A and B are shown apart, each in its own frame.
Chain A
């Protein structure tokens, strides 16, 4: 409610990202598998758009935000933090993972702070992780959702929250990446 006016429908009708935005936190595994589809397809399209830029542009910060490749590296990090490590039992993060600024000083096992992968290398790394996440979602059951696993920095977290965070990171950072690509093109 804004000043007593319900603006929900007004906003949704004009939101480029509706209904995807409203599907990020489904209550069941079937919904989670469906929720992964939209940002996954959106990112494939965004990556194709990025390939039209020169490699150095893809490492260029826009408006003080991450470069395109850094965004891919952050999503690699988010995937490892919320899925590969807690849900799949990996010991370490992918070395190219990039933590958010507020958590950069924490001890993230396996992170190489001097890494500078190319676009293709970052995309390949993400594809490998996405494949494992998909396989995890395929086997996900309702009983799994309430199980808790230990997430570095955040502590004990339900499986559902881990899945939500992965999907939301993919969704929101795709929007930011598109915003910044438009300025680089």
Chain B
């Protein structure tokens, strides 16, 4: 079974070369998150998109 990260403090964590296929983010604080060299395929995002830079 996939690992659950509920309530964990992952501020500043780095995800490099990881497979997050099917991962679910709920009530996650993604402030100042930076994503590059990533694949967003069939992704459904429900967010407060204020100040988002694409």
Contacts and interface: CB of A to CB of B under 8 A. Distances in A.
A168 B49 CA distance: 28
Interface residues of A, number: 10
B37 interface: yes
B5 interface: no
B16 A102 contact: yes
A172 B47 contact: no
A2 B37 contact: no
Interface in B6-54: 14, 16-17, 36-37, 43-47, 49, 54
A176 B45 CA distance: 26
A150 to B, nearest CB: 17
A77 to B, nearest CB: 14
B44 A1 contact: yes
Contacts of A11: 54
A102 B14 CA distance: 9
Contact of A172 (B14, B16, B37, B45): B37
Contacts of B43: 1
Contacts of B36: 172, 176
B25 to A, nearest CB: 14
Given A168-B37, A172-B36, A3 B17 contact: no
Q: At the interface, is chain B mostly helix, strand, loop or mixed?
A: loop
Nearest to B15: A102
B16 A3 contact: no
Contacts of B37: 168, 172
Contacts of A102: 14, 16-17
A98 to B, nearest CB: 15
A133 to B, nearest CB: 19
Contact of B45 (A2, A100, A168): A2
Interface string A165-181: 00010001000100000
B54 A3 contact: no
20 contacts: A1-B43, A1-B44, A1-B45, A2-B45, A2-B47, A2-B49, A3-B45, A3-B46, A3-B47, A3-B49, A4-B46, A11-B54, A100-B16, A102-B14, A102-B16, A102-B17, A168-B37, A172-B36, A172-B37, A176-B36
Interface of A: 1-4, 11, 100, 102, 168, 172, 176
